[in-house]
Each structure stands twice: as structure tokens, then as C-alpha cells.
């Protein structure tokens, strides 16, 4: 969620105007703090706005996945080759790579091989859109189920900080831009939604401590679920030092900064309270390469002792498709459409961030009032972005890719 950034829908449902169109938000009033997917159930809103960016996330490890998958032990004793996607959203991100992976494995093991694909996400995830994609009701991207036999799709509505499937059951598992979301909010940044230059050492330390614990928990749960010889591929949004400026930056930093600026102004003007501001901290941590490698490099760690071995770890840059579309239109057609850029960019990134603001506002507010305040936030963000140079928000996403084997 850059952040839990992940995936797609029917484009005709998204004829959004020059400003943000209000999309119905599913509200679970009796379940405090739960993640609320943004958009109407079954419309594939997540992928239809973020999908154009997400489709490139797997590319840096695509060939490695297809090559190593053939080395995973699989015999007639296994009733099915089990594949899992953790933090699946509505299935957009994984559709193309799973199509290629299944085709590769069918060719390698034979067309009669049985496959089971399990999509994991939180309890309130829009699984309706996921299965509409699988069946082709939402046709973009094309579903592998429409042309493949002996492939069965299931869903697990279980938090991935818990065990989601039986021990020793999965041959290949993948998680793309999901594991940066934490199991809980470990601290309260008093002046920002996420850590920044004003954050205290105590706040930052608490965040990193929770992130380290959660990373170990996430990986150990997957180790228990993996078969011997099985593969785990994880991609997380990164925190890196900019080579040109030396500045420490994280994914969608400029957008988070603008969200923070507008939300602070809402606090100053009394639209929200100070308590509501601090209750809307993002429950996320963007990690460095050193941090994600740590439990694998330490041969005495619980992760290493569980049998997991790091085959490769690399950082890759995924081009910002929203900025590139704006730039191409400007260069080729002479049209500087900053309103369109702001609309697409804000609509995409509202998917992972909207729930934080819905949850953080006071329970004393009615649902209608809460939605009005949150809608107003994104309308203001979009309007301000439209008046700014899109280069400020150009975010060529820096992602960390780990390929791990269970020995």
C-alpha cells in the first residue's frame, strides 16, 4: 500500500472529470482501524488507476522468475503446483507474470499438471474485483484462466503477518509493493504523516524498530509456508540516497509532502483537530537495502536458521508513467495538460492513502461528514498539483527486489 501500491479495473467506469469525482467508500463503522478499500466494490478501481504504473513492477525480475521457477522441486507426489501472491489487491499486478509463469511451468512439467493460485490480502480487500478479473468480466488485463485448463484460483483474506496457508505447501510465492505496510502504527509523528526532517530521533527509531520486527515476522511466516526448494520473490518500496543531491528520499515523497501540507492546513483552520492529524500517520516504513538484507546476512538470525537463503538483492528504477505521459503529450502535441496529470496522479495514489484519513478522523463524525473532509483533502491536493510543475512530482520509483530460496 508507495506504498501499498497495487492494481486495476474497467476503464469505462472511470470517466472522471477535471476534478476528482466522489467514489463511494466502503465503511466498516464497527471495526476500528481496518483498511478500507477505496472505490465501489467490484469496479476494479484500484488497478484501473494504479495499474498503468504497476504493470512494470515485475519486469526487473521477470526473466529470473521464469528461469528459477523450473528449478523448484515438483513431482507426481504433489497434487498441485501451488503459487501465491501476497498483497494481491484486485490481481492486476500479478496477472501478466502469472500468465507467463503458468505457461512456462506447463511447458516444463506437462499440460496436465494441476496448478493452484492463491491470492492473499486483508479481510476487506476487494476480492469481488479480483474474481471479476479472473473470469474476464473485467477484461483488462486478459485473464490467464480464459485460456488455461487445470488452473484453480482461491483467495485468502488473512493478514500476511499471520500464517495464511498450511505449512510446507507453496512452491512459488510473490509479494509486490506490499510488505512496506506495518502491522501497527508504532509511533506518532506529531508534525507529519510520515517521517521527515522535523521528526524526532525517538519517533524515527520507534518506526524502524517496528519495521525490523515486522520484516522478520513477514519473512518467517513465508518460510513456514514454503516447500523445500520453493521460491519467494519480494519487492518493496525503497528509501535511498539521491546520487545527485545526497538527499535521502523515498517513493512518492513529493506527493506525501503535499498531502501533509494540505492536511496540516486543515488542522490550523480547524477543519480537523490536532488529535485527528496525529491519528492519520501512515502505517508504513520504506526500507533501505541494508535493512532488508539484514536477517539474511546474519547467519545466526531466525530467518537464516529457518532455511531461507538470499539468491539476489537489487535495486531497480521503474519509470513514472504519469509524468512520462504528461511529458510526451507536451513534447509531441504541444499540450501542457497539468490538470490531467494531477487528476491521474491523485486518483492513482488515493487508493493506498485514502483509508488512513478515513480511519484517523474522529468516530464522533458521521460517515457523510468524514467523507466530505477526506474528499476535500484530495480535491485541494489535485488543484494545487495542477498549478505546479509536474517535474516536482516525477517519481521514478526505486524498488528493492529480493529473490529467496527455501533450502
Closest CA to 232 of 62, 58, 402: 402
User: pLDDT class for 247, splitting at 50, 70, 90?
Assistant: low
Q: Which pLDDT belongs to residue 3?
A: 38
Most confident listed range (3-12, 104-113, 196-205) = 104-113
Q: Which three cell numbers stand for residue 129?
A: 474485483
Query: 212: part of which helix (H) or strand (E)?
Result: helix 201-225
For the ranges 11-20, 111-120, 295-304, 371-380, which has the lowest average pLDDT? 11-20
**Angle, helix 289-297 to helix 201-225, in steps of 10 degrees:** 50
Does 188 or 319 have the greater pLDDT score?
Answer: 319
Q: Output the pTM of the full model.
A: 0.88
Rounded Cα distance between 192 and 181, Å, is 17
Tens of pLDDT along 256-272?
999 999 999 999 999 99
pLDDT higher than threshold 60 for residue 15:
no
Cβ atoms of 41 and 26 closer than 8 Å: yes
Q: Which three cell numbers stand for residue 57?
A: 513492477
pLDDT higher than threshold 70 for residue 245:
no
pLDDT higher than threshold 60 for residue 10:
no
Mean pLDDT of the chain, nearest integer? 88
pLDDT higher than threshold 70 for residue 243:
no
**CA count, 13 A, side-chain hemisphere, 262:** 19
3-state secondary structure of 70: coil
Rounded Cα distance between 279 and 269, Å, is 17
pLDDT higher than threshold 60 for residue 23:
no
Cβ atoms of 188 and 278 closer than 8 Å: yes
Task: For residue 13, say if its preceding peptide bond is cis, omega within 30 degrees of 0.
Answer: no
Rounded Cα distance between 348 and 325, Å, is 14
Per DSSP, the residues of 99-117 read HHHHHHHHHHH-TT--EEE
Mean pLDDT of 70-75: 94
Q: Which pLDDT belongs to residue 25?
A: 37
Domains and CATH numbers, the chain: 11-406 (3.40.50.150)
Distances from the Cα of 338 to the Cαs of 242, 252, 342, 343, 392, in angstroms?
A: 26, 18, 6, 8, 12
Residue 385 CA, distance from chain mean position: 23
For the ranges 28-42, 130-144, 272-286, 295-309, which has the lowest average pLDDT? 28-42
Q: Is the dihedral of CA 21, 23, 29, 33 positive or negative?
A: negative
pLDDT higher than threshold 90 for residue 53:
no
Cβ atoms of 20 and 375 closer than 8 Å: yes
pLDDT higher than threshold 80 for residue 29:
no
Does 25 or 49 have the greater pLDDT score?
Answer: 49
Amino acid at each position: 500500500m508507495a506504498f501499498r501500491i497495487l492494481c486495476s479495473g474497467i476503464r469505462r467506469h472511470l470517466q472522471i472529470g477535471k476534478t476528482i469525482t466522489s467514489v463511494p467508500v466502503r465503511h466498516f463503522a464497527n471495526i476500528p482501524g481496518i483498511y478500507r478499500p477505496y472505490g465501489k466494490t467490484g469496479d476494479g478501481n484500484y488497478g484501473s488507476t494504479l495499474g498503468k504504473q504497476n504493470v512494470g513492477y515485475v519486469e526487473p525480475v521477470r526473466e529470473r522468475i521464469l528461469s528459477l521457477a523450473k528449478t523448484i522441486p515438483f513431482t507426481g507426489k504433489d497434487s498441485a503446483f501451488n503459487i501465491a501472491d501476497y498483497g494481491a489487491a484486485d490481481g492486476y499486478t500479478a496477472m501478466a507474470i502469472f500468465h507467463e509463469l503458468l505457461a512456462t511451468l506447463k511447458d516444463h512439467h506437462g499440460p496436465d499438471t494441476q496448478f493452484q493460485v492463491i491470492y492473499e490480502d486483508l479481510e476487506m480487500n476487494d476480492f469481488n474485483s479480483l474474481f471479476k478479473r479472473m473470469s474476464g468480466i473485467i477484461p483488462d488485463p486478459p485473464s490467464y484462466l480464459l485460456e488455461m485448463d487445470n488452473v484453480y484460483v482461491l483467495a485468502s483474506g488473512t493478514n500476511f503477518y499471520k500464517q495464511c496457508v498450511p505449512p510446507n505447501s507453496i512452491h512459488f510465492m510473490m509479494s509486490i509493493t506490499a510488505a512496506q505496510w506495518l502491522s501497527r502504527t508504532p509511533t506518532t509523528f506529531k508534525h507529519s504523516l510520515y517521517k521527515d526532517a522535523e521528526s524526532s530521533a525517538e519517533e524515527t527509531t520507534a518506526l524502524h524498530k517496528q519495521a525490523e520486527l515486522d520484516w522478520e515476522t513477514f519473512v518467517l511466516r513465508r518460510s513456514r509456508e514454503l516447500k523445500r526448494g520453493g521460491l519467494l520473490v519480494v519487492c518493496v518500496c525503497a528509501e535511498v540516497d539521491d546520487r545527485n543531491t545526497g538527499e535521502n528520499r523515498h517513493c512518492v515523497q513529493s506527493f506525501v509532502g503535499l498531502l501533509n501540507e494540505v492536511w496540516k492546513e486543515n488542522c490550523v483552520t480547524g477543519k480537523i483537530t490536532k488529535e485527528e492529524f496525529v491519528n492519520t500517520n501512515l502505517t508504513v516504513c520504506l526500507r533501505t537495502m541494508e535493512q532488508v538484507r539484514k536477517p539474511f546476512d546474519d547467519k545466526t538470525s531466525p530467518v537464516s536458521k529457518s532455511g531461507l537463503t538470499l539468491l539476489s538483492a537489487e535495486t531497480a528504477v521503474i519509470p513514472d508513467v504519469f509524468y512520462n505521459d504528461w511529458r510526451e503529450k507536451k513534447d509531441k502535441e504541444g499540450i501542457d495538460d497539468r490538470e490531467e496529470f494531477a487528476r491521474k496522479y491523485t486518483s492513482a495514489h488515493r487508493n493506498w492513502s485514502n483509508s488512513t484519513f478515513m480511519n484517523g478522523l474522529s468516530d464522533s463524525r458521521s460517515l457523510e461528514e468524514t467523507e466530505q473532509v477526506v474528499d476535500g483533502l484530495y480535491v485541494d491536493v489535485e488543484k494545487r498539483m495542477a498549478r505546479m510543475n509536474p517535474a516536482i512530482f516525477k517519481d521514478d520509483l526505486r524498488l528493492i527486489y529480493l529473490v529467496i530460496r527455501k533450502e
